[in-house]
Amino acid sequence: MPEFLTDEIKEYIDSFYKIKPKDLIFNFSKSYLHHEMDRGSKKSQVKRIRIHDLRHFNVSLLIELGFSATAIADRVGHESIDITYRYAHLFPSKQKEMAMSLTQVRNNKANDWKDLLEEDDKDV
């Protein structure tokens, strides 16, 4: 869990009076969350999303940040890495980035070989 989120949760829990280990810290229902999502989307005039879409956004963001599918699957609790790979279509630019990176590596290696061959020619 990110440190900033840990800090926010600790602060939230500290705001309770005499909280017991079995007490709920989030005492609202799924229907309340739906209601608040509706209210927020109307107020901000944006399309309403499902609560589960926030999970998809989190996975998508982690992919964009460059984390591996296995690390993401482990973090979000996907039973199979195949589930995580379903998000790959969200970032077609990643394919282009990978191709560009491979080209860059190849060009760097080609230049290294060229430099090495030139050095060998000078030594002869």
How confident is the model over 32-50, as pLDDT tens digits?
Answer: 988 999 999 999 999 998 8
| pTM for the full predicted model | 0.55
pLDDT in tens, 60-91: 888 878 888 888 888 888 888 777 777 767 66
Please, are residues 32 and 44 in contact by the beta-carbon 8 Å criterion? no
| Alpha-carbon 60 to chain mean position | 5
In 10 A of CB 63, how many CB atoms? 19
- DSSP 8-state assignment for residue 89: G
AA identity, residue 45 = Q
What is the Cα–Cα distance from 15 to 51, expressed in whole angstroms? 26
What is the Cα–Cα distance from 110 to 103, expressed in whole angstroms? 10
